[in-house]
Amino acid sequence: MKVLDFGLAKAFGEDTAPADNSLSPTITRDATRAGVILGTAAYMSPEQARGKTVDKRSDIFSFGSVLYEMLTGAPAFEGEMISDVLAAVIKTEPELSRVPAVIRPLVKRCMDKNPHERFRDIGDVRYELARSPSSPSAYVTPRAPRSLWPMAVGAVAAFVFGIALWWTSAPTPSPMPLIRATILPPDGTLISELALSRDGTRLAFTDERVEERRRLWVRPLGAIDAVPLEGTEGAQLPFWSPEGRSVGFCLRTTRSRL
């Protein structure tokens, strides 16, 4: 970001009346002449507020005021009326305790009431920001690169431990019982299509009848007889649901042509 409003002490313009009195510009003629005030009240230097002759050190003070507000989120000098703001600029000191300690000396010197105690040129401020201990970057200690081996070993160990814990805590499935069965069709029928449940304990099949339509039968393999299911006349291609609780079938339909 670039702030392009410095040098107001040597600029010419027209008077305006914004809503915020602290931002309201004052007289803007004969800028460097003693007895004439020029600038924005909240960002004036004390010599500007008094109407004294100013130079570039006044802009150093204004820079400090803007920097203070950027760092704290509040203007350095406030008041209800422009006269109150100007009085604060002349008499009161900004609350530098709100400024981060690493840059506080630089802001303090920029906003010194005595222009002879300020930086003489904005280039000096830039130099101090880059080279002096007041620069926040001067307090940043470069972090040595960390080896990834300990992290990788820890991750692998955690993964192996999790697998071992899951393996030991997982319930052991009970072995399936051995079933021996002889499957005979009901009297007077022939077995047509078979479907075994997923758990291997029940059988569904359709029969072939000479005089009647086929039906669906269900037989637990541990039982002797199969049970016909009512309403399944014409059933074919039986199948079990995934959990083995229901049995389904296909039903062929005929269409008449007109």
The predicted pLDDT at position 170 comes to 62
How do the pLDDT tens digits run along the chain, 258 residues long?
Answer: 445 455 544 444 444 444 555 555 554 444 445 545 556 888 888 988 888 888 889 899 999 999 999 989 999 998 888 888 889 999 999 999 999 888 899 999 999 999 999 998 888 888 888 875 544 444 444 455 556 667 777 787 887 778 777 767 666 666 666 666 677 777 767 777 878 887 778 888 887 765 567 788 888 877 778 888 888 887 888 888 887 788 888 876 655 454
Asked if 130 and 194 sit in the same domain, the reply is no
Residues 195 and 203: their CA atoms lie apart, in Å, by 6
The predicted pLDDT at position 140 comes to 43
Asked if 206 and 93 sit in the same domain, the reply is no
| Structural domains in the chain (count) | 2
Question: What backbone phi and psi angles, to 5 degrees, belong to 235?
Answer: -70, 150
CB atoms within 10 A of CB 12: 10
Give the containing element (helix H, strand E) for 233: none
Q: Are 50 and 58 in contact (CB under 8 A)?
A: no
| Residue among 57, 151, 161, 69 at smallest CA distance from 109 | 57
The whole-model pTM stands at 0.43
Beta bridge partners of 251: 235
Tell me the residue range of the domain where 41 lies.
Answer: 8-139
Give the containing element (helix H, strand E) for 208: strand 202-208
> At which of 103, 122, 139 does a domain end?
139
Q: Are 109 and 61 in contact (CB under 8 A)?
A: no
Q: Is residue 45 in some structural domain?
A: yes
- Alpha-carbon distance values, 203 to 135, 162, 188, 194, 240 (Å): 84, 41, 19, 7, 9
Q: Is residue 70 in some structural domain?
A: yes
b/e string for 139-156 if b means 16 or more Cβ within 10 A?
eeeeeeeeeeeeeeeeee
Residues 63 and 125: their CA atoms lie apart, in Å, by 10
Asked if 35 and 132 sit in the same domain, the reply is yes
- Alpha-carbon distance values, 44 to 23, 54, 128, 161, 164 (Å): 10, 11, 23, 68, 72
Residues 171 and 45: their CA atoms lie apart, in Å, by 80
Asked if 135 and 22 sit in the same domain, the reply is yes
Q: Is residue 100 in some structural domain?
A: yes
